[in-house]
């Protein structure tokens, strides 16, 4: 087990990349003397290693970085059928992949994970030994201990202590997390948001997810519901939503809604890129749909910017959904609906989802708990 000072050091390196002992001491508010011993201990433990040597005036500084192979993590996505499962190192590199059958039964899930583990770790006893945690991503609300699923419509769950069930079955510490929040953590640890203290992730898929990092920490909200942007009312008296309200963003800008609208308009498009193609051909109904949904998403994101002033918004999306009209309208809608003096001040980055996004996000939850630990103070 690591001390809180050691954890703080890992957190700093994870957020800033490789640093010299002197820089680390400075950033952590410690003396060089304290840093010296701290670094030695963590190097001996195999968590840190010396990487590059930087030459300047005076004695060159030796950069310290995390040893990605000092700990490994398993990530499971309960968002797809079959459920993907990956083995990842501390840098988010994926070492191995498996899939397991999808199930809604917590105990069955635990059993499936247990059965799949040996396949994932096949022939790598060194890795098996350093397996430090399992992360599970799912659609639904998760408590702040990342242990219980408070509610999940997709899985039909209510207060399911999945983390405990899985960790008891496998003997490995397990954490669960909401899908969008898992992506946010993954981007903070492994992705483009490493050095960012405040940012939000909007995940655009069949549904729309969202998660916030505030002051370098995932913000979960008082009931775990922070980031429920999908059910902001965008169109008063709009279409009925699965949540019970009307005109939620989810009914206008989710992939599901877009597909439904195009079906209602008599278009035979099954993906957004097809719709973009039809729109490029000049079909008015396709253009109308893309306009409406792009503008709605942009408006919701503008609200988010106005409310929270994040340092960045990262939109994860599927192939082809952002190169055309939809993306353009959304961008314009954001710019038009934030304070003019802030327009363009919040970088909007987009990221194509790959097949590993959810399972890697799940693994990042376990990695996050390894690096940062349960209690941040």
**Strand pairing class (72-77; 131-138):** parallel
Per CB under 8 A, the list member of 27, 91, 198, 285 interacting with a second copy is: 198
Burial 218-246 (b: 16+ CB within 10 A, else e): bbbeeebebbbbbbbebeeebeebeeeee
Per CB under 8 A, the list member of 92, 310, 324, 327 interacting with a second copy is: 310
From the list a second copy, DNA, none, which binds 303 (C-beta under 5 to 8 Å, kind-based)?
a second copy
Contact 208, 253 (CB under 8 A): yes
From the list a second copy, DNA, none, which binds 304 (C-beta under 5 to 8 Å, kind-based)?
a second copy
x/- binding map, residues 334-353, to DNA, per CB under 7 A? --------------------
- Count other C-beta atoms under 10 Å from residue 259's C-beta: 19
CB of 302 to DNA, least distance (A): 43
From the list a second copy, DNA, none, which binds 58 (C-beta under 5 to 8 Å, kind-based)?
DNA
Instruction: By CB under 8 A, tell whether 224 contacts a second copy.
Output: yes
From the list a second copy, DNA, none, which binds 284 (C-beta under 5 to 8 Å, kind-based)?
none
Q: CA 253, CA 205: separation in Å to the nearest integer?
A: 9
Instruction: By CB under 7 A, tell whether 30 contacts DNA.
Output: yes
Instruction: By CB under 8 A, tell whether 6 contacts a second copy.
Output: no
Contact 230, 210 (CB under 8 A): yes
Contact 233, 247 (CB under 8 A): yes
297: left (phi over 0), alpha (psi -120 to 50) or beta: alpha
Nearer to DNA, 57 or 222 (CB): 57
Instruction: By CB under 8 A, tell whether 331 contacts a second copy.
Output: no
Instruction: By CB under 7 A, tell whether 377 contacts DNA.
Output: no
From the list DNA, a second copy, none, which binds 53 (C-beta under 5 to 8 Å, kind-based)?
DNA
Nearer to DNA, 9 or 248 (CB): 9
Instruction: By CB under 8 A, tell whether 299 contacts a second copy.
Output: yes
From the list a second copy, DNA, none, which binds 306 (C-beta under 5 to 8 Å, kind-based)?
a second copy
CB of 194 to DNA, least distance (A): 21
Provide the H-helix boundaries in the chain. 4-16, 21-28, 32-44, 106-120, 125-129, 162-170, 179-189, 250-253, 255-264, 272-280, 284-308, 325-337, 357-371
Query: What does the DSSP 8-state code read for residue 56?
Result: -
If you write DSSP's letter for every residue of 164-233 in order, what string do you get? HHHHHHHSS-EEEEEHHHHHHHHHHHTSTTTT-SSEEEEEESSSEEEEEEETTEEE--TTS-TT-GGGSB
Instruction: By CB under 8 A, tell whether 177 contacts a second copy.
Output: no
x/- binding map, residues 34-73, to DNA, per CB under 7 A? xxxxxxx------------x-xxxxxxxx-----------
List 76's β-bridge partners, or say none: 85, 136
Instruction: By CB under 8 A, tell whether 232 contacts a second copy.
Output: yes
Q: Which residue from 47, 39, 6 is spatially nearest to 21, judged by alpha carbons?
A: 39
Instruction: By CB under 8 A, tell whether 105 contacts a second copy.
Output: no
Binding residues for a second copy, rule: CB under 8 A, are 151, 197-198, 210, 212, 214-215, 217, 219-229, 231-233, 236, 243-245, 299, 302-304, 306-311, 336-342, 345-346, 377
Binding residues for DNA, rule: CB under 7 A, are 3, 5, 20-23, 29-40, 53, 55-62
């Amino acid at each position: 087990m690591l001390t809180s000072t050691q954890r703080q050091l890992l957190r700093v390196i994870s957020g800033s990349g490789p640093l010299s002992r002197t820089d680390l001491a400075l950033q952590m508010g410690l003396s060089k003397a304290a840093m010296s011993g701290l670094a030695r201990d963590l190097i001996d433990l195999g968590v840190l290693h010396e990487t590059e040597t930087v030459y300047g005036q005076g004695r060159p500084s030796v950069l310290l970085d995390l040893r990605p192979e000092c700990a490994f993590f398993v990530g499971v996505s309960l968002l797809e059928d079959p459920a993907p499962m990956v083995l990842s190192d501390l840098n988010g590199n994926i070492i191995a992949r498996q899939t397991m059958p999808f199930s809604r039964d917590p105990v069955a899930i635990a059993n499936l994970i247990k059965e799949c583990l040996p396949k994932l770790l096949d022939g790598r006893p060194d890795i098996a030994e350093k397996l430090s945690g399992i992360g599970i991503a799912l659609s639904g609300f998760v408590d702040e201990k990342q242990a219980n699923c408070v509610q999940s419509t997709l899985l039909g769950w209510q207060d399911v202590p999945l983390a405990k069930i899985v960790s008891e079955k496998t003997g490995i510490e397990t954490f669960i997390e909401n899908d969008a929040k898992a992506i946010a953590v993954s981007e903070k640890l492994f992705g483009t948001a490493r050095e960012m203290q405040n940012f939000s992730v909007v995940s655009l898929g069949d549904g729309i997810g969202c998660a916030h990092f505030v002051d370098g920490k995932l913000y979960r909200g008082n009931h775990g519901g922070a980031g429920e942007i999908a059910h902001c009312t965008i169109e008063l008296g709009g279409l009925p939503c699965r949540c019970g309200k009307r005109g939620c963003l989810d009914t206008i800008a989710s992939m599901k809604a877009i597909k439904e609208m195009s079906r209602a308009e008599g278009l035979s498009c099954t993906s957004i890129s097809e719709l973009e193609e039809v729109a490029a051909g000049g079909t008015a109904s396709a253009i109308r749909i893309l306009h409406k949904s792009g503008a709605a998403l942009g408006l919701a994101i503008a609200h988010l910017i106005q409310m929270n002033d994040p340092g960045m918004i990262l939109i994860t999306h599927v192939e082809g959904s952002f190169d055309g009209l939809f993306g353009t309208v959304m961008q314009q809608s954001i710019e038009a609906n934030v304070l003019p003096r802030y327009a363009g001040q919040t970088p909007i980055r987009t990221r194509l989802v790959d097949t590993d996004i959810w399972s890697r996000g799940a693994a990042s939850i376990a990695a996050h708990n390894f690096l940062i630990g349960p209690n941040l103070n």
